[in-house]
Structure 1
């Protein structure tokens, strides 16, 4: 069990690092450079809904990361440790984190908050701008 939780912690950490790098590159408009000419591609501006969706993903990831850290520490202490036998820690750091992550993604549902192809092509709320290479 400890190996599975550690794997989950490592996976969430890698995902978070890649997501942070993507957002930083997107916001600074600094994509990876390449020999290919990508000038025909356009960078889309983030709508308010997309910003809310991004914040919800960040919050859910933080909740699941807290849970993974807690479970790693809990199981590393063994089946008879103080942390595994304290119900309050389990309720707050395991149960509450999962509930918050699930409800966040149910309230800020990607089907509602991410724009469809029809919205992006016809909406002035989602302007396109050429990206400089």
Structure 2
């Protein structure tokens, strides 16, 4: 750590538990404040940058895209930022509900095929013909 409390890119990456390339990428996308440079060209970051990187990673884990996270940062502070976060959460909840409906539909589809396979095996044993492949063959014709 430098005397002024600034950290080099490797140090900030270590604190935030990301790679140096991730720090550079986030900086390029303007998700991070532009780093100051030393006379020899080294990037120097404030300790708070590690907190911001951890926030970005947590938001990604919750399903937010980097563009959405960037929108949160540019929305300013206070009421505008709170409204932006609320709006993004509402969108994410709606997307999640859609995905859950799709997944339930797919689960039902798989369960129907599982039952068909079990019925075929029970009825015909070693002579069973897989009903899933039969369905696929019929749909190709």
TM-score range, shorter chain: 0.3 to 0.5
- If the length of structure 2 is used for normalisation, what is the TM-score? 0.32
Higher RCO structure (Cα 8 Å, ≥6 apart): 1
- If the length of structure 1 is used for normalisation, what is the TM-score? 0.34
Q: Which has the larger radius of gyration?
A: 2
Structure having the larger proportion of residues in helix: 2
